[in-house]
Amino acid sequence: MKEIFLMKLGEVVLKGANKRQFENKLRQNVRRRMKPYGNFDVYLMQSTVYVEPLDDQADLDGAWEAARTIFGLVSLCRCRSCEKDMDSIFQAVQAYLGEDLDCAPSFKVESKRSDKAFPMTSIAISQEIGGRLAEAHPNCQVDVHHPAYTVYVEIRDLAAYVHGPAEPGAGGRPTGVGGRAMCLLSGGIDSPVAAYMMAKRGVEVEAVHFFSYPYTSQLAKDKVLELARLVTRYCGRMTVNVVHFTEIQEAIRDNCPEEYFTLIMRRFMMEIAQHLANRDGCGAIITGENLGQVASQTMEAMAVTGAVVKMPVFMPLVGMDKEEIVTIARKIGTLDTSILPYEDCCTVFTPKHPRTRPTLGQVLHAEQKLDRQALIQRALEQVERIPVKYHDETGV
């Protein structure tokens, strides 16, 4: 008997004629994520991804941790396969789950018979295996309503599989089926969460970070690259486009009314992000904006900053409160890095009294002294492209 993973598909099963495309992408993603941990056979049958080690050198624990972060999977379990007969199933349960049953005060058996050629019904399988286990573990009582532990038996096409309770998967859709988008990645809490949430909807994420040396330090840049690395645990590899933003911010400081500094800066960011998105085949921009959180995120301000681009702008956090965002950041492991005290360019030349209800005409008038296109062109010529991937994917 050998241990394998059974990973159940989420909303992919609801797709119609393009279901095969989603399944193929998910299988490709799983294979890539398993590769650093050894040789695995990855195949898909009956809305389930099977991950089977091909030799004893495979790192099952490392592969399991990686599997829990793959979008498109709603649940996953480690299990043992065995022959499709009652004696083999009972022996597999004893060998694989016996210690858990010894520690549990009560149990029940749930069975699923996908292979309809198997001669016993699901109820009969549960009764037979449950009866044998009750005799083998007299201190563990049968409780079909509120058991402390549940033994699962699945009779599938290739074999029978036994396992304990499944764990929740990452959910969402397979990364890559929803197109590509460029995320404005700062050093704060919000933007890494926004990237994660759009990746969960199947979007392949690229990133752009605006770096204002010497007003912001190398530590601030390193912080953003670390945030990107943490996000790639879920979304896969990405490229961080580091834009040297100092000249633009100094030009805004020297030529524009102070109350519009942040709005004009944001408009430059959006336009540069659109250029990079077009170059990299992205169909949208992702931001971590949250309605009303800061002065530049009022409805009027977001309308002004968004007016400078022609592609869709995704704001997955726009209706969330801060505690909800922090909870997700803590879950995906970005919070501790986000709160490190290294400021990003958004804190440079911050106006004392920012305009919160601007009109587009007012902002266009405020930035009229700037040679926007020349500034943008010089910034694009100096973009630093940094590939980032989670350290567990070395060599992938």
Instruction: Give per-residue pLDDT as tens, 261-277.
Output: 999 999 999 999 999 99
Mean pLDDT computed over every residue of the chain: 92
Query: Which pLDDT belongs to residue 395?
Result: 40
Band of residue 391 on the pLDDT scale cut at 50, 70, 90: low
- Is 392's pLDDT higher than 70? no
Query: Which pLDDT belongs to residue 216?
Result: 87
- Is 1's pLDDT higher than 60? no
Band of residue 82 on the pLDDT scale cut at 50, 70, 90: very high
- CA 96, distance to chain mean position in Å, is 31
Band of residue 360 on the pLDDT scale cut at 50, 70, 90: very high
More confident residue, 12 or 345: 12
pLDDT, average across residues 333-355: 83
The contacts of residue 331 (CB under 8 Å, 6+ apart) are none
Q: Which residue spans within the chain are E strands per DSSP?
A: 3-9, 40-45, 48-53, 73-82, 106-113, 141-142, 149-155, 160-163, 167-168, 180-184, 204-211, 238-244, 284-286, 313-314, 384-388
pLDDT, average across residues 308-319: 96
Separation between Cα atoms, residue 156 and residue 112, nearest integer Å = 8
Query: Which pLDDT belongs to residue 352?
Result: 82
- Is 251's pLDDT higher than 70? yes
305, 270 Cβ separation under 8 angstroms: yes
- Is 345's pLDDT higher than 90? no
Separation between Cα atoms, residue 52 and residue 29, nearest integer Å = 15
Distances (CA, A) of 140 to 102, 107, 123: 7, 7, 20
**pTM for the whole structure:** 0.90
- CA 18, distance to chain mean position in Å, is 22
pLDDT, average across residues 153-157: 94
All domains in the chain, ordered by first residue: 3-168 (3.30.2130.30), 180-393 (3.40.50.620)
